[in-house]
Chain A
Amino acid sequence: EAGVVQSPRYKIIEKKQPVAFWCNPISGHNTLYWYLQNLGQGPELLIRYENEEAVDDSQLPKDRFSAERLKGVDSTLKIQPAELGDSAVYLCASSVAGGTGELFFGEGSRLTVL
């Protein structure tokens, strides 16, 4: 069975440009998470979806970040415009709602903003 798939794996852009990351969770997992990980730090939750509903987006900087999960399956995280401080790894994870709490993470998308 395929794990959580993320793309692109790496992205380099100039500041003020837009960027988008895509995530396809494990089949049947209705909970999807986007995390941000800065160098040397643990992952920080940006947003959590239960099916297509964002149930926790309190840590998402809504002035420049947006996310969607229109059909309750795959998801897109967008940054517009990107800033130098957005350079980080963006991790997607999925889990089964009401399960043991085990999250399955993708390999992440590493963003470099120049």
Chain B
Amino acid sequence: DAKTTQPTSMDCAEGRAANLPCNHSTISGNEYVYWYRQIHSQGPQYIIHGLKNNETNEMASLIITEDRKSSTLILPHATLRDTAVYYCIVRDNTDKLIFGTGTRLQVFP
């Protein structure tokens, strides 16, 4: 079973920041948080991952709370092409990625 909880869907206006929350209250100390997204009819695409520090790359920022029980993926300036299903995943100690049902983000003009 997935170890994360995400809202089913979210909307965001184009050009605004999209903040996607994720709860992972049972995360263990050495487990990483990964984010992937899946655009319609494509395979999932890696976005970012982190352990306990905040991370940023060219696609997004990942904010992990100090107790590591939740995190937020931030797309700073959402575009229509960011419309996708976003998966928050806790990678277990067997290196297995267990996907949940994700958050369907709709970016509107």
Footprint of B on A, CB under 8 Å? 4, 40-45, 48, 56, 91, 93, 100-108
Please tell me the size bucket of the interface on B.
20 to 34
Footprint of A on B, CB under 8 Å? 2, 32, 34, 36, 41-46, 49, 87, 91, 94-102
Tell whether, in the assembled complex, residue B45 and residue A105 are in contact, meaning their CB atoms are under 8 Å apart.
Answer: yes
Contacts of B100 in A (CB 8 A): 42
Contacts of A104 in B (CB 8 A): 46
Contacts of A108 in B (CB 8 A): 42-43
Smallest Cβ-Cβ distance to A9: which chain B residue = B41
Tell whether, in the assembled complex, residue B91 and residue A43 are in contact, meaning their CB atoms are under 8 Å apart.
Answer: no
Q: Looking at the assembled complex, report how far the CB atom of B107 sits from the nearest CB atom of chain A, in whole angstroms.
A: 20
Tell whether, in the assembled complex, residue A103 and residue B46 are in contact, meaning their CB atoms are under 8 Å apart.
Answer: yes
Closest 9 A/B residue pairs (Cβ)? A105-B43, A42-B99, A102-B46, A43-B99, A105-B44, A91-B43, A106-B43, A42-B100, A107-B43
A-B contact count (CB 8 A): 46
The binding surface of chain B is classed by DSSP as: loop
How many angstroms between the C-alpha atoms of A7 and B87 in the bound complex? 25
Contacts of B36 in A (CB 8 A): 103
Contacts of B32 in A (CB 8 A): 101
Q: Looking at the assembled complex, report how far the CB atom of B63 sits from the nearest CB atom of chain A, in whole angstroms.
A: 19
A-B contact pairs, 23 of them (CB 8 A): A4-B43, A42-B87, A42-B99, A42-B101, A42-B102, A43-B44, A45-B97, A45-B98, A56-B94, A91-B43, A91-B44, A101-B32, A101-B49, A101-B91, A101-B95, A101-B97, A102-B49, A103-B46, A104-B46, A106-B43, A107-B41, A107-B42, A108-B42
Name, among B49, B95, B100, the residue most crowded by chain A CB atoms within 10 Å (CB to CB). B95
Tell whether, in the assembled complex, residue A103 and residue B44 are in contact, meaning their CB atoms are under 8 Å apart.
Answer: yes
Contacts of A44 in B (CB 8 A): 99
How many angstroms between the C-alpha atoms of A101 and B2 in the bound complex? 17
Contacts of A45 in B (CB 8 A): 96-98
How many angstroms between the C-alpha atoms of A59 and B88 in the bound complex? 21
How many angstroms between the C-alpha atoms of A45 and B94 in the bound complex? 13
